[in-house]
Amino acid sequence: MPVSDIHKKHLNTCKLVHRRRIADALVLLRQMIHDTGKEYLHERLHELQETYTQLLQHAFSGVEDPEREKIYNYLMRTILEIADQLKETHMMEKGSGQVYLLKKEWHQRKASEQIEAMQLLEDLTFDDELAVLLKDVQVGEAGDLADRGKALSDLFHIIWLADKYSEEENKLLETTCDADKLPWHDKALIVSALTLSLLRYFDVNKFMLLFRFVEKQQELVWERALIGLFLAFLKYNDRHRLYPALEEKSLALQSLPDIEAHIEAILVQFIKSRETEKVKRKWEQEIMPEIMKMRPKIEEKLDLDNIFNDPLEEEKNPDWETVFEDAPDLLNKLQELTEMQMDGMDVFISAFSRLKHFPFFREISNWFLPFYAENPEITPAVKDKDQGIDLSPLIEKLESTYFMCNSDKYSFCLNLAMVPDQQKSMMMNMLNAEMENISELEKDQDALSNLARTKSIFTQYFQDLYRFHKLHPWRADFEDVFEFDLDLYGVRFVNHLVSGDKTVRNIAEFLFDKHFYDDALRIFLSIIEHDTSNIELFEKIAFCYEKTGDISQAYAYYKKADLIETDRLWITRKMAWCAKMLNKWEEALRHYRQAEKQAPEDMRIQANIGQCLIHLERYEEALDYYFKVEVLAPENHKIRRPLAWCSFLLGKFDIARDYLERLLEKEPGNHYDLLNLGHVRWCQGAPMDAFKKYVQSIFAWKSIKDFEQTFNEDRKHLANHGIDDTDMDLMMDYLKLQVRSRQQK
């Protein structure tokens, strides 16, 4: 069975379960068992069907069953877990990609490798003598540490590539969390392996381990575990309610100090780390072109929307600029401190993306390895006894600073090894001074407070994750966490920990500010359910609808905002623009007339009124408005296009010809202007001159089909000025013969 088919059936099975269509899900699960050849699961499936049949019989027998919901949730959980198992087993047999190749290899080696790695973990956790020995090892004694690093790397793979942990493995990982002797950076690496494993394959025990690391509150470890939980619950939000233990653990986190502030910081950094440019491209390349396809052809012909280069209708309300004055914590002190270095899509990624080719980064675990000065991987770049070079003080300062993520710190140090020895001392002096400046700046801004330090750790870890998902050679084999949908009100884990209206509004504002309009819209709509008098909420909901392409809903909400406070110029313009986009030209004209009363000298409003009048075929009035714009902005040659068109329609051929000839001096290859000039010359009694202009238009257009379509749309206007239908047919045929003759030469 093709891999794509099993993926599709797995996805559909999960959707059916979450929609509580258990009977249909069981049918699809039977197909998956048959398709994958795992016939031994039929007996399990039969048990589920029997259980469900009994539940249904009890449900309609009139007998109260207090266990019904518990049994129903058990059925849902079991179907999902069997579907997961079938998909993963099939992927192991048929799937391609580096991750599955590696997983197959590790399964073959698992018995011996796992024993060795787990034994190391057990030794590190329980062996007092070994713990003391490791504590006393210095950077120069890299042999033992290198072996230890290899074992930890193996352990990372075992934790990451395991679908479910055995009871012994789970117990050992619990003990690892509690072990005081295990260094923080080893625990942090284990947390990353757990997170990667959970995102790859659902297992409630992996959640419970991450909760345990969070509850332990070991600095530089629990922060990573909390991010791991956040990402996992984004992915598996639909399963959250099916596991009472997850509900209980989520609620229990409410007792942790500053937990709401921490969740807010995670949400903010997650938002900043996502690709805002992608959202902008979606509007520019997908949504707006679809809207424009619905516009009448005259819009393109006269280029009415581009008379002015800066489309006013898309700007945000300037009154919104004060929105963060009441939320100073949203952009926290640490962000202000290192704004140029760490601002979501941080400035270093482009510089360091070219420094991920070192052998160090061939090992996946090293993309998640916290930076610490004793790591033997960076020893060659740090010390050279023969040359008398020792950059250890610099590396120690680098370890303690927050302005660079862990992955980039390793890139920087590994790149040092490529620097000639005579330059390293000079670099050390320069960088030491820079590090001193950063340290002083951090102190000045109180960046070492507990909350600020935690936020900086979140930032660093998100940046490490971002580099892995965007730069790793195997990134196509991983589900990109930064593409996860963020529904603040839909994620139960977040809901349990974020209860304050202010925090929710802050996140919505931040999403809005970063152009994630879909996400912001969902939150604004939820807020407005209990706050229906806030005009700014209606405005921002309308703006979100506008930017996501739902112009009809945008129009409706702009009108609601207008009901709360009428005659606000910004809202009036927005209503006019929406009406225009929806081809409601009478309504658009009414709104623009209202805007004209508030800003009588605004040329854009004048031009838009003229545009509405053209669509309403009130050409004489339109001409007056465009004349006014021409007087106010004589340097704007684009205004001549609608002036020429209106003049032509009104039979003012000399004026139309003058405008069109001046336009063609600026843009000699404009196919619409050439076409229109052909119309004018024909109506002036010069059909051969018209013929020549039409030929030029066709070759400028590079498509006789497009020319003919536009020509036919204009036939009614030519007829109004006395051109016979037969003459138009003959002209079109003459043009086709002439063009084909030229093309054959």
Chain segment 76-114, per-residue pLDDT in tens: 999 999 999 999 999 988 878 899 888 888 877 765 556
Judged against a pLDDT cut of 60, whether residue 339 lies above it is answered with no
CB 342 within 8 A of CB 335: yes
pLDDT (mean) for 278-297: 59
Contact predicate 513/544, CB 8 Å? no
| pLDDT value, residue 415 | 83
**Which tokens belong to 689?**
């001159």
Residues 6+ apart with CB under 8 A from 420: none
Length of the chain: 745
CB 272 within 8 A of CB 233: no
Model pLDDT for residues 547-562, shown as the tens digit of each residue: 999 999 999 999 999 9
What mean pLDDT is predicted for residues 608-613? Answer: 94
Q: Given pLDDT bands bounded at 50, 70 and 90, which one contains residue 203? A: very high
Q: How far apart are CA 281 and CA 287, in angstroms?
A: 9
Give the pairing type, strands 389-390 and 383-384: antiparallel
Two structure tokens written together for 712: 């036919």
Give me 118's structure tokens: 């787990």
pLDDT of residue 292: 60
The candidate with the shortest Cα–Cα distance to 623, out of 648, 602, 605, 598, is 648
- Assess whether pLDDT exceeds 70 at residue 10: yes
Decide: pTM greater than 0.85.
no
Q: How confident is the model at residue 241 (pLDDT cuts 50, 70, 90)?
A: very high
Least confident of 18-22, 306-310, 569-573: 306-310
First vs last Cα of the chain: how many Å apart?
A: 56
Average pLDDT, the chain: 84
Query: Cα–Cα distance between 284 and 182 in angstroms, integer?
Result: 52
pLDDT mean over 52-60:
90
Q: What's the token pair of residue 305? A: 């929307």
Rounded-to-integer distance, Cα 594 and Cα 576, Å: 9
Q: How confident is the model at residue 335 (pLDDT cuts 50, 70, 90)?
A: very low
Which of 27-36, 94-103, 276-285, 653-662 shows the lowest per-residue confidence on average (mean pLDDT)? 276-285
Q: How confident is the model at residue 265 (pLDDT cuts 50, 70, 90)?
A: very high
Q: Which residues pair with 384 in a beta bridge?
A: 389
pLDDT, residue 553, reads 97
- The rounded distance, in Å, linking the Cα atoms of 519 and 230 is 16
Q: Mapping DSSP to helix (H, G, I), strand (E, B) and coil, where does residue 389 land?
A: strand
pLDDT tens readout for residues 152-202? 888 899 899 999 988 888 988 998 899 888 899 999 999 999 999 999 999
**Of the candidate ranges 12-16, 47-51, 240-244, 429-433, the one whose mean pLDDT is the lowest:** 429-433
pLDDT for 374 equals 84
Q: Which two tokens stand for residue 732?
A: 């079109």
pLDDT score at 451: 85
Find the mean pLDDT for residues 505-530.
89
Mean per-residue pLDDT, 653-674: 94
Q: Round to whole Å and give the CA distance between 340 and 401.
A: 15
Under 8 Å CB-to-CB from 284, ≥6 apart: which residues?
none
